[in-house]
Structure formats: C-alpha cells, structure tokens
A and B are shown apart, each in its own frame.
Chain A
Amino acid sequence: MEIPSAINSAGNVITRRLSFSSETDCLTLEEPNMTCKVLTLQSVPDYTNSCAPSAEVAQQLSTAAVNTYSNAKSEIELKDASPNNRLNSKQQRVNNSDDKENAASPSTPSPPDNNQEEETSGQSSVTACQQLRNTEDSDLELMKSAQDDGCVNVVFPGTVTQEGCCRFVSEILKCILYQRQQLPMTYDQLVYSQKKQQASMQDEDIVGRRQVQAADVGWRKCQQTLRELEEVLQQLEVLFSLSRVPRVLLLMGGSIILPKELYEINMEALVFAGGDKNLRVSACLRQLFRTLFVADLLSDTRPVHLIPTTVLVLAHRDCGVGWFHPKLQFKVPTRVKNKIIALSTDPSTCKGPMAQGSDWQDYVWFQAPMTIKGFGK
C-alpha cells in the first residue's frame, strides 16, 4: 500500500518541517492540508537547494521551541488526511502555482479540503478558488487525455536552455522513481537523511556502530541506489552538455525489449536559445510538475514491486559520450503501453527555428550502462 508507507517514511521530516514553519509564521499547524503541502513540496525541485539546510535549522528549532501540543496534533491530522493525500496534493499544487511562492510565505492561508469551505475562509483563498475554477476545465481535459492515451503535453511560453532541459529530465526521473515506489522517500530527502546518518555515525563512533550493523543491509542498499542514481544524474548532465537530447526513455522492469513500464520524455519540440531571454528553470519546473500532478499520470493504484530502471537517451551519433553505450539496433518497444511527457515551446511565443523531423536522422539511442535498482524500507 503506497499511502501509509509514504506517510510513515516521510513522517519525521514532516513534523520537523512543520515546526519550522511555525517559527516563521504563526498561522499554520492546525490545518491537515499543511501536511499534504509539505509532502508535495518535497518533490518541488526548486525547493531542493534549500532543503537540507532548512531542515537542519528546523531540527534545531524543534528541539528549542516547539510545543508538544502542535506536534502531536499535526501527527493526528496527518493520519486523518492520509486517505486524501494524493487528492489534496493536486489542489495544493493549483494553489501553489497560482501564488508563485513557496510554502513559508504567509499568503497561503491554509486551503481547506473542499471548495465549500474554501469560500468561507479568507479573501486570498477566494481568489485562489476562482483561479482554481478557471483552471478546472482545462485540468479535467488534461486528466482525460492523460488517462486515455497516456500523454501529457507541457507547453512552455518561451525558450529554454540545454541545462534547463537536463534539470527537467533529472527531476522527472527522481519523481517517477518516487511515485512508482522505487524509493521510500523522495531523492532529496534520502540524500539528506543519509548525510545525517553519516554525520551521526562519525559522532558516536562506537555506540552507533552496533545499530548501523543491524540495519546494515538496508543501509547499504540505500547507499547503492543513491550512488547509482547520482552517477546517472551526473552523466546525464555531461551528455546534455555534449549533445541535444530530443528524447529520453525510462524503462522499468522486464528487459529493454519488453519492459513492464515505459516512460518517455519527448523534447523534440522545445526551442533553445542563448542569452537571457529564456524562461526561468524554476518556473518551468513548477509548470511541468503542476501539469504532471493534475494529469495524474504517474499514480497507479496497483502496488509495484522493486524493479530495475534503465535510462535510454537519444543523442547525436558523434557526440562522443563515453559513459553511455550506443544501441544502434534499439527500437522503442511498441507493445508496451507507454506514457509520454511531451515538453514543447509555444510556437507563437518564439521566433527560433523549430526542429524538423529530418534533423533527428543522425540521432541514435544510448543506454546507461547501469540500472537503478530501487529499494524499500
């Protein structure tokens, strides 16, 4: 079952995070939604840079100035909210993208569970609600198309950079691994908790060792998965600096001929431009993940087992990348239902040349030499 596990694993981080926000602005903590918000924010990528330090601060704060009442209460609320967790996260996303700022800002006053309550609570949420209604139709449409043909279109209102593209891919990869239950927490949480564990191991060298040995297998698996993922992400960065990458495939389970699940990130219609006219990466990511969550592309009620994930990228034949192995014979599996995330640039907003189909003739598939094996706790 996915929901309880997500709550459990993220539980301690959530409470800590809550206490942090209680320091900065005093109007949170009673809302069950707050917990959901934190959950979704974990996967909002432009928050990641600040993730580790802020959580550290939060920990200090929580030891200093947190009242036990709110802590306990938020945990209870957490349980209450859990069945609606994924649902709420969608509404949350709408609100977040509307007011364009992250969680700590005081302008997000606790959006309640349903629309009725929303109207009675505070002015700013009324405007949020109107916007929500405006977007509701398009959201429904989006969700329908995603469910019918497994395709989500994200149209950016401007040009992007190659590095931005790499960020999109790596964030989608992290998100898919988490959403498809290959990681017990989001990647950034895992990195943080691992760092913390390493630090504590150094502190209490002798006492801690026994405990670590007990959890040794899990710990090593976690480390290995993180190492693999980190390497793949690094090498993706290298590849993106060498070549344009029009398509990326994530194959999960099975073999590369017949995977269990297939995700495609299609970036053929993106327009790149130099200079400073590009869209901000964080804004694009926000739009991307909002669309993804609304379309509900990644959640599947069926439980998934731990299966290896293979990354394949389409890149130029002569780009000279060494780490990825070329697979000249590879053809995209057609007998598997694939889910496509298509990123594109709105043609009306840019003057740059659009890529033609013939441009991709000299592009061949490259396969990452290692698979990412997930782990569960």
Chain B
Amino acid sequence: MDGDRMEVGNQKQNINVEVHVKSHSTAKLSEVRIHILALLNRHSMVFGNYRWTEFDEDYLQKHVESVAIVDVEEMVTQPLDLNSCSISTHIFTLNEDGPSTLSLEEDEELSAANHWLLPAAEFHGIWESLVYESGVKTQLLDYVTTTIYFSDKSVNSNLISWNRVVLLHGPPGTGKTSLCKALAQKLSIRLSSRYSYGQFVEINSHSLFSKWFSESGKLVTKMFQKIQQLIDDKDALVFVLIDEVESLTAARSACQAGTEPSDAIRVVNAVLTQLDQIKRHSNVVILTTSNVTDKIDLAFVDRADIKQYIGPPSEKGIYNIYLSCLEELMKCQIIYPRQQLFTMFELETMRFAKSEVSEHSLQLRSIAQKSKGLSGRALRKLPFLAHALFVKTPTVTLERFMEAMHQTVEKQREEKANLVNGI
C-alpha cells in the first residue's frame, strides 16, 4: 500500500481516509470498504480535512463511527476532487482494553513496561489535539513510512543504514510523550493494511535498575528479550517508548567525576548493544524523549535518526489550542450561547479585518499573543484555571470567559516571574 503511495505520489495527490468502525460491529472489511468508496463517490468535492459522523445510509450508520479525510495540506484554496486523487482507505477499530503490564521476573510486583494494543481507545484524538509548527508531524510520519518502504525494498542496511530510533527533545510540557503515543496510533492505522495490529510498549526505565550490583545490565537485556518476543510476530508493528531516556543513557563521560557507579555504565552499554541488535527487524520503531539532551550519552544521540526539537507553541499554535479548548467548552455548554470563532487560516485570509463577526476571534488572538512562552501543558489547563479562579458561575458567555482567560494569563506570567525570583 505504502509502496503504491510512493510510486504514484508524483502524479496524483494522495488522500488518506480513516474509517473508524464501531467496536461492536462485525461487518466484513471488504464490505465496509465498498460502502465507503460509494460514500466518497457521492461526496467527491471536499475542502481540506473533513469528517463525516452522520450517514444517510443505514449500513454506514450501523457500522461506522466516523469517516475522516485527514492530513491534507492545510493551505487548500480550491476544492479537492476526490475522483482525481488516489485514495487510500484505512479501516480500523479501537481496542478498548487498558494497558497490560509486562514484568521481567515472575515474582516482580512492579511492572517493567506497559503494553497497549493499537489502535487504542486511550490514544484516540491525541494526534489532532497536538499543534506544532507545520511539518513536524508529517515529517515524523514520513520518516517511519520511509523506513518501512526501505525495508520492503530490501535496501542493504550495511550500505544505507538507519537505526529506527527517534529522539524528541525540548522543554517540559510540549507534548513529546503525547506525540510519541499519537504517532504510534497514527501509524498503526495508516499501516493497517500491512500489519494486522500495532503494539505500544512503554518502558519504565527505573524498573531496569537492580538493587544488586551488576544486575542492571542483565535486566535491560531481559527487557529487550521481551520486546524481541513481540517483534517476532511479523504481523505486528511494535513501538517502544523510552520516556526520559537520559535516565537509561546517562552520559558515560560523567562517570569520570565519580558520581556515577559503574553499574550505570553497564546499563548504557546494554541499551546501546541491544539497540543495535533490534534494528535488524523491520517492524520496530523506538521512540525516545528527553528534557536534558546534554546529559545523554553521545553514542546514543548518534544512533537517533531523527532528533526533533519540540519547542513551546508559536502564536498560531497557541491560537489553535485555545480555539479547540473553547470549542470543547461550548460543546459541553459551559460557555453559552455558542458563538462563531474563526480558525487562524480563516483570519489570515480575512487579513485580520476588524468586523462584528471577527471580534471574538481577534480578542482570542490578542490573548494568544500575550501567552507566548507558556508550554503546551500550561495552555491546555489555562481554560480550566480561568473557570476555577475567575468565572465561578456554572455557565458563562464567551466574552466573560475570554476576559477571565486574559486575567489567568497575566496571573500565570506573574507566577512564573515569582518562581524565577524565588531562586
């Protein structure tokens, strides 16, 4: 499927259609596909990304939760004609079970890793909620599809080598871990025609350190043996997430100062050798995140194919985050009555012209400009804080709420300044 994508990509625009089938549906995939193609035939003109959740056809209404045209380039000025594009439909159902745990030793109470089956209900919607500079998400997506494309074409990995390691770094609260989860979810949907399911393993790195001297390295090896078991299933695409990777791969040069026991060095060595072992397999991707890149061992950084910096959101990103927050609050009728807000793209095409309809959107933009420098995590909780600190009534108008948000942003900045002064 993805091979096709690469080959025809030049002539025709490729459109990805994600079909979310209801979890209790037992319909055959081939039948669903026929109905979806019929639906797309009927509505062949679309503007950018679009999602259907209501269907006039009974069959779709019964079996399908939503059909979405996703990840079309945002700057679409003319309508897309689906008939002239090549369409890849990705049909998936969500796994509703929570994570199961992997433990290394039989009597170990503490789990060494959490294990999800993808696509997981828990990760649904994260991808859409993450707002980054244009290109970050697609770049990551393209990286993994390329790795798999190369493996499919059996490129000699001694000549052109890649390590299947992605390192995301940046300040806290910018959604690195969420991005890893969302990426895994996205890819397991995208590649569903090739791999029948995805697996996501989140390693608790602290569980790999033993109380026994010299045992930690062995624990790392054991962990990778477990992962190896999962990889052996060629039908599965395995994502391994090592969060806060600096704890497993602390710079070995630091041990010369004598603060690091030699056991910790063995852990780094074990991780590095195991990574080299695992990269032979075509169906594994290792995702890592870190806040402090200068503490990570150079040999590990060197192995990472993509070292993506995830910074705090730009003004445009902040605007989009606020917009999605306000939309949600209006949906839940906490902000009432519902009012129209424009997307950044729409505002830009209007050239930020002041008018009655764009008044609210412009106000939100000024709040977004004020909040520059706050992390994504702080931004997502800001509407909550605004309601808690300044609103104090069950329902509120949009004007009043934005005022409260404005106050909250000021307060946040003030708190931040105090924190710095305190040190």
Interface set of A (CB-CB < 8 Å, partner B): 254-258, 305, 317-318, 322, 325-326, 328-329, 331, 335, 364, 369
Contact = CB atoms under 8 A, between A and B. Distances in A.
A317 B235 CA distance: 23
Given A255-B100, A325-B24, A369-B96, 7 more contacts: A256-B97, A256-B117, A257-B197, A317-B28, A318-B26, A329-B93, A364-B26
B24 A257 contact: no
Nearest to B196: A329
Contacts of A255: 100, 115, 117
Contacts of A331: 196, 235
Contact of B107 (A257, A258, A305, A326): A305
B199 A257 contact: yes
Nearest to B95: A327
A322 B115 CA distance: 27
A326 B24 contact: yes
A255 B117 CA distance: 9
A305 B101 CA distance: 14
Contacts of A256: 97, 117
Main secondary structure of the interface of A (DSSP, over half): loop
B293 to A, nearest CB: 33
B228 to A, nearest CB: 11
A328 B115 contact: no
A317 B100 contact: no
B154 interface: no
Contacts of A325: 23-24, 96
Interface of B: 23-26, 28-29, 93, 96-97, 100, 102, 106-107, 115, 117, 196-197, 199, 229-230, 232-233, 235-236
B119 to A, nearest CB: 10
Contacts of B100: 254-255
Closest 8 CB pairs of A and B: A255-B100, A326-B26, A317-B26, A329-B196, A255-B115, A329-B197, A325-B23, A364-B26
21 contacts: A254-B100, A255-B100, A255-B115, A257-B197, A257-B199, A257-B230, A257-B236, A258-B230, A305-B107, A317-B26, A322-B24, A325-B96, A326-B23, A326-B24, A326-B25, A328-B29, A329-B93, A329-B197, A331-B196, A335-B232, A335-B233
A255 B29 CA distance: 25
Contacts of B196: 329, 331
B93 A328 contact: yes
A318 B29 CA distance: 14
A255 B23 CA distance: 19
A257 B198 CA distance: 11
B25 to A, nearest CB: 7
A297 B33 CA distance: 44
Contacts of B23: 325-326
Contacts of A364: 26
Contact of B229 (A317, A326, A335): A335
B175 to A, nearest CB: 27
Contacts of B96: 325, 369
Contacts of A318: 26
A257 B117 contact: yes
A327 to B, nearest CB: 9
Contacts of B93: 328-329
A141 B224 CA distance: 40
Nearest to B21: A328
A318 B117 CA distance: 25
B398 to A, nearest CB: 40
A305 B109 CA distance: 10
Given A322-B24, A325-B23, A329-B197, A258 B229 contact: yes
Most buried by B among A256, A328, A369: A328
Most buried by B among A325, A331, A364: A325
A322 B232 CA distance: 34
Contacts of A317: 26, 28
A112 to B, nearest CB: 38
B185 to A, nearest CB: 15
B26 A257 contact: no
A326 B22 CA distance: 10
Contacts of B102: 254
A135 B406 CA distance: 86
Contacts of A257: 117, 197, 199, 230, 233, 236
Contacts of A329: 93, 196-197
Contacts of B115: 255
Nearest to A371: B97
A328 B107 contact: no
Contacts of B236: 257
A168 B255 CA distance: 63
A335 B226 CA distance: 12
Contacts of A258: 229-230
A305 to B, nearest CB: 7
Most buried by B among A255, A318, A325: A255
A317 B31 CA distance: 13
Nearest to B96: A325
Contacts of B107: 305
